[in-house]
Amino acid sequence: MNNVDSLNPATEPVSDLLSDAGLRALAAGTLMPGFTGTTMPDWIGSALDAGLGSVCIYGTNLTSPGQLADLMGRLRAASPTVLLTLDEEGGDVTRLHYLTGSNQPGNAVLGRINDPATTAASAAAIADELAALGFNLNLAPDADVNSTPENPVIGVRSFGADAALVAEHTAAWVTGLQDAGVAACAKHFPGHGDTATDSHLALPTIDVDVETLRDRELVPFAAAIAAGVASIMTSHIMVPALDADNPATFSRAILGELLRGALGFEGAIITDALDMAGACAITGIEVAAVRALAAGADLLCLGSETSAERYDGILDAIVAAVRAGDLPLERLCDAARRTAELAGAYQPAAPAGTGKAPDSATITAAFEVSDAARTWLADPALPALVQVGSEANMAVGHVPWGAAAVGADTDLDAVDRYAKIALVGRGLDAGHPVWQLADSLRADGRRVVVVECGWPRGGADLVTFGASLTVSAALAGLLDPRRATRESAPGTSA
């Protein structure tokens, strides 16, 4: 348990605060490591005893629902008040349902449904699941305006391309989650939607003027703040109009002058994972941690593969930075205090039971269906759904998606000669193999539609705006109505 209050520079001698134990306790209160494996490592237990601020769970920590419940029980028993955290956006980015796909449609579908009450109910349903397991902080929602269709890392994680719509649904999602007892975190400040570069792999640049940022990127974050969002996550991006020298995570101008000053945010500032290339590729994660704290971040996400050695190295770097005068003691105390206040405001609670996912008909109505797809759907021929391999970004990971997630896909070699074919993919850019395959099948006289399960980039006949389990089930029911009939018949299963 983090005894930050006993390490207040206003009440304690500086000599006590600058002791190894004092500084390490303060530093630990600002850190959020993940870990490898499916059981709680001994070093995590020791870190919790020494004041660790948060632990983040990733999809790679799961093998089954029962195993996750056991892991969470052990973590919560080790620290009744620590922030237990994950990225549960619903939709394509899921950790709770990493093995099967999410039971929620995700932001892009919710944006197209465009009913804030439905969005709030979806977030509340997520909160119910999180609270039942002991989580009290969710690194969601994504508040980015996806203004670049080719964006490789945001896409359907966004509520849409219109700033006002994204703002309305961001506020609804925050309210739904937090009213159900789990802290929200709007991300990725000051906006990651206008880039074609993935910050997991490189350092993107948002090269727009201040007026565009004010009228587009910042609008959803202002709405989240007005809704009382508990925390905001930084992005590892360059925004030259705001700071020509530092990525947002390391920018006093962006975190201090803009987020704290102009926007008036008083909650916790959380970094995106500092093991991402956009943060640490040049300096290493230890330097990145110090830079983020100095810029104004309060809680540092360290990534999914944090080891005991890396964790200790980061603690050592923070302590050394304070001793060298590179990180003011007051700033470290402030970061630890804000993190502790977040944990205090969102202590583990029982599920509220107020959440609900939209039904299949509502999800299907959000799809974009072209005239060609309507003609295909009206064709009485038997359908065959063929899933075409598509790479997911690192935020999504290896989660089942599309027709394959619901057992509705067919190998192309097994498709009947007279069947109509739906080629299902996602991230369908100009170089995706689905286009050549569709041309080849059409040249052979086959009746083919192309289905995009991601953000549309042009050319697809049907777009689902997501690939979660619940969206995939709705898609399969639309393309093959016989499947819905079979699943609803007594005594049958898919």
The residues that are catalytic are: 200, 272
Sign of CA dihedral 94, 98, 103, 109: positive
Distance CA 442, CA 422 (A): 12
Structure tokens belonging to residue 200: 């997991």
Would you give the distance in Å from CA 170 to the centre of its chain?
13
Distance CA 125, CA 122 (A): 5
Distance CA 19, CA 271 (A): 27
Structure tokens belonging to residue 14: 């500086």
Closest residue by Cα to residue 375 from 441, 462, 437, 477 = 462
Identify whether 200 is preceded by a cis peptide bond (ω within 30 of 0): no
Structure tokens belonging to residue 166: 């994204």
Closest residue by Cα to residue 469 from 98, 88, 94, 101 = 101
Give the contacts of 88 (CB within 8 A, at least 6 positions apart): 94, 95, 96, 126, 129, 130, 135, 138, 139, 140
Distance CA 254, CA 251 (A): 5
Structure tokens belonging to residue 462: 């049907």
Distance CA 35, CA 19 (A): 28
Structure tokens belonging to residue 184: 């929200």
Sign of CA dihedral 9, 10, 11, 15: positive
